[in-house]
Structure 1
């Protein structure tokens, strides 16, 4: 919190039975939407945004509580604290607490920074005239046109920043103001928003939430993809094995040979499912993420075989299946196909390719005439 004003007493008071529930509600208002959206718990916040920003966010919620009027009885924690514990507080601290009680959190633009002295802040939401803030420490780090979510507190004729100061990117700050304008039907930047008391009371939680929605996705990074296993317990790694036809071999000839394999079930003129053995009873859970494809009766599908142009394509989900499938095809099509070529793709690569549209369906290549369904005639 703010240097020069010891708020440890009121912080402890905020966790007492009389106010602990209300502090929890304030924290929920500031953190709850982001926790739900990005699936994290309050005790994980520091790991995500760092200890400093986790403390700042707690401070924003705490300062919000200091301004709230609690029903029934129009109770306020600052009034209650000063009445009960004020005898043990310094005069400057009580003055500062009362200033916080009547303060409003908003989004500000920083300008005319004088390091070690202060700077100007302009309220981007309420549109008031710039104020000169006396602030030694923050003036050392803030730069011209920085955007901050903060409370400007007037104490002894000077304007100060409270302890809860959130730094915003320009884009995130503009998005907050634009959303507020849309919600109020104010399209022109020159038109005042004219926020009422309820709107102003909602700003602190809105600003904290907007900060989290901007920062958390960047700090958490892309979601990690769990290791997947197929029905044989093998780690999923997509393998595509291409068997080129030998000279003069047709799809019809290869298809006839494939139909002799009990493990292959023809689905179309050019496509077969490679089937495993149907398990007896209900499969036991392994506790691992599974990538399992089955027929309607529960028979596992080990892979697919497809005829494309002058080649046979075997698609499977593991290195082990690629080895078994290659042996199966080589034995069945001896003399009809050449040496296979294998391409491998991880789950992450497959997902990235799909996101970029690289795996979208495309027309199958035209079948070369010498691979069409004609028999090769001896001496022909």
Structure 2
């Protein structure tokens, strides 16, 4: 039976996020005390990157007898459990503290851990269970709600960092493994394939470029690793489509290219700096099948767009000579530039083409934009 959009629309988008576990599941969280000052960021961060790929023949021969044991072992050593407590946490019926559980990936031996923003959002206390079994306090270095990524720092050294795959190396049909701690049962590895790449307009994040996979991703897997058959990181597990709350073969991961870009900025600056035009726009093709561009529907008062003279009804068709296909392209292209950049937009107003020069502002965090 062919599924139509109405059928798919009835599926609710579930972030594969925190599952609630009793404090009794934690063998030790003795370090879960008052937050200490954020750690200094003057250490040198070393990121491991994959070397050139091996031949297909040697890859097949190497896995004929061992399956994906080596990849699973390699990746699992760099995936951690993340426990959070927030001000809204309630005590369980047995009087134990209710804690939230997610996953994270060690990205540098100096104690840097990459995870999802929604895993740690609102947390007043964060602890990480390391591969050794040790539980350590974690500090939130920074987060980026627009991509649902966050970076933590634990006071530990010589941790086993994941190896980053080459950006764009994963293709549709490739076998991948998802590593995390679903439902708090313990670290788990599931296998699937890459079903699609470049998924967007899902309404999950502001900036979307998801890898879609049928590897089982369940609540508690959020922030865990999606790796290739060599155990190299290709994505950060983030969300699933589900009617029941469990995996139904449609999972999404943030690609390593985007994750690396956000992670580097957070480690260096504590936040992600993006250019911002200060308008709300819709696709021009909503009004005409062959139209391209983004139609301005709202101009934020005092924002960069208003100061430059952009008006409601303007159709933005190009930026610095590069065509703007739709509203998503307008947001993405401006976000790739640094705040303070001067940009020339090609605009059509009442059928008349014109150029509007805008000095981009700093894109506010989502909470700031709601004020």
Q: Which one has a bigger Cα radius of gyration?
A: 1
> Do these two structures clear the TM 0.5 threshold for a shared fold by scoring above it?
no
Q: Which has the higher helix share?
A: 1
Q: Which has the higher strand share?
A: 2
Question: How high is the TM-score relative to the length of structure 2?
Answer: 0.22
